[in-house]
Amino acid sequence: MLRKKDLLGLKDLTVEEIEYILDHTAEMKDVLLSKNAIDNLSDKCVTTLFYENSTRTQNSFLLASQMLGAKTLTVNVATSSVKKGESLVDTGKTLDALLTDVIVIRHSMAGAPELLAKNVKASVINAGDGMNEHPTQALLDIFTMREKFGTIKGLKVTLVGDIKHSRVARSNFWGLIKLGAEVSVVGPQTLLPKGINELGCEVYTDIEEAIIGANVVMGLRLQLERQKSGLFPSKSEYAELFAVTSEKIANCCPDALVMHPGPVNRGIEIGSDVTDGANSVIEEQVTNGVAVRMAVMDILAGGR
Ligand code: CP
């Protein structure tokens, strides 16, 4: 059970709640890989409401809903009444009136899912809000690490790149620290948030120092849409200093898992050969994302 009707972030979850979701994800992964849908949500409706672009998250929520037997609605924000000025709360109330049970929302404004959750009867799942959190991404990342290593406790995990603007980094950070990982971050000074070292992680500006002995190296997308200009001189200079390359992995942590939430900017955040290489679990992350979203929706709406 989760204490709340919504999943807004990992900052608010207890260790027991996170572990409960991860344990249920393992069961849901078996269902997913069988390709046989179950009927746990056959009397439920799931609506996706994405104000920002998405390939992985939106489609994996839709597939997860179908694997649980739910009906689905997709609000295409660009052609919806949002464009006539309808507010987020009124859109949410309309979806309540359409008898939706789960609203999956992505929004550029941090806090939008929380505002929606306070104003609707449906369970709200945060699929990424501004620079705040992306909880199901972090859950799928942590699930992938747990599958490979058996435990999160004591794992050395290094997050690389645009930490400041990354909701993926923030959610991973809360989840990994709670579960006992040793988390470090590395990036240009301008892409590291103020006060991050007070939150219990090591902070580096040299990638090779940061990834020595790491079990997991997670590249992050440069969030150019959330950055002011002038935070680093050029993409090529950024890549020179901070790209996760096969050479750096071979020199510093040859057995590390290489992860990335996607979409990947090949050759900038991470080398193309690393993306497709033996250490990479980027495609497994995507598959695990469906299982995590099945688990979360089954727990929130399926009455588990
Ligand atoms: N990782 C992630 O959130 O990808 P999408 O933007 O494609 O959903």
Residues 70 and 178 reside in one and the same domain:
no
Q: What is the pLDDT of residues 173-200, one digit of tens each?
A: 999 999 999 999 999 999 999 888 887 8
289 lines ligand 1 (CB under 6 A): no
- Give the position, in ligand 1's atom list, of the atom nearest the Cα of 57: 8
What's the structural domain count of the chain?
A: 2
Residue 303 has pLDDT above 90, yes or no: no
- Clarify whether residues 139 and 278 are in a common domain: yes
Q: 304 falls in which pLDDT band (50, 70, 90)?
A: low
- Is there an atom of ligand 1 within 6 Å of 263 CB? yes
Residues 121 and 139 in one domain: no
**pTM over 0.85, yes/no:** yes
Residues 117 and 166 in one domain: no
Centre of ligand 1 to C-alpha 54, Å, is: 5
Order of strands across the sheet that contains 216-219: 202-204, 182-186, 156-160, 216-219, 257-259
Confidence of residue 21 (pLDDT cuts 50, 70, 90): very high
How far apart are the CA of 135 and the centre of ligand 1, in A? 12
Tell me, using a 6 A CB cutoff, whether residue 54 lines ligand 1: yes
Q: Which residue's CA is minimally distant from atom 3 of ligand 1?
A: 57
Question: Which pLDDT tens digit goes with each residue over 107-135?
Answer: 999 999 999 999 999 999 999 999 999 99
In a domain, 1, yes or no: no
Atom of ligand 1 nearest to the CA of 289: 1
What's residue 86's pLDDT?
Answer: 94
pLDDT-above-90 percentage for the chain: 90
pLDDT of residue 163: 94
**Do the domain assignments include residue 67?**
yes
Same domain, 146 and 271: yes
Whether residue 205 lies inside any domain: the answer is: yes
136 close to ligand 1 (CB < 6 Angstrom)? no
Task: Give the mean model confidence (pLDDT) for residues 48-77.
Answer: 97
- Given a cut of 70, whether residue 43 has pLDDT beyond it is yes
Tell me if 127 is assigned to some domain: yes
Examine residue 124 and state whether it is found in any structural domain, yes or no. yes
Task: Tell whether 128 and 143 lie within a shared domain.
Answer: no
Q: Which pLDDT score, from 0 to 100, does residue 223 have?
A: 75
Note whether 148 and 272 are same-domain residues.
yes
Same domain, 142 and 167: yes
**What is the domain range of residue 174?**
135-282
Same domain? 212 vs 235: yes
User: 64 and 122 share a domain?
Assistant: yes
Span from the CA of 251 to the centroid of ligand 1 (angstroms): 30
Same domain, 147 and 264: yes
- Tell me: do 87 and 143 sit in the same domain: no
Ligand 1, residues 55, 170, 224, 282: which to mutate, most atoms within 8 A of Cβ?
Answer: 55
In a domain, 34, yes or no: yes
We report the CATH number of the domain holding residue 245 as 3.40.50.1370
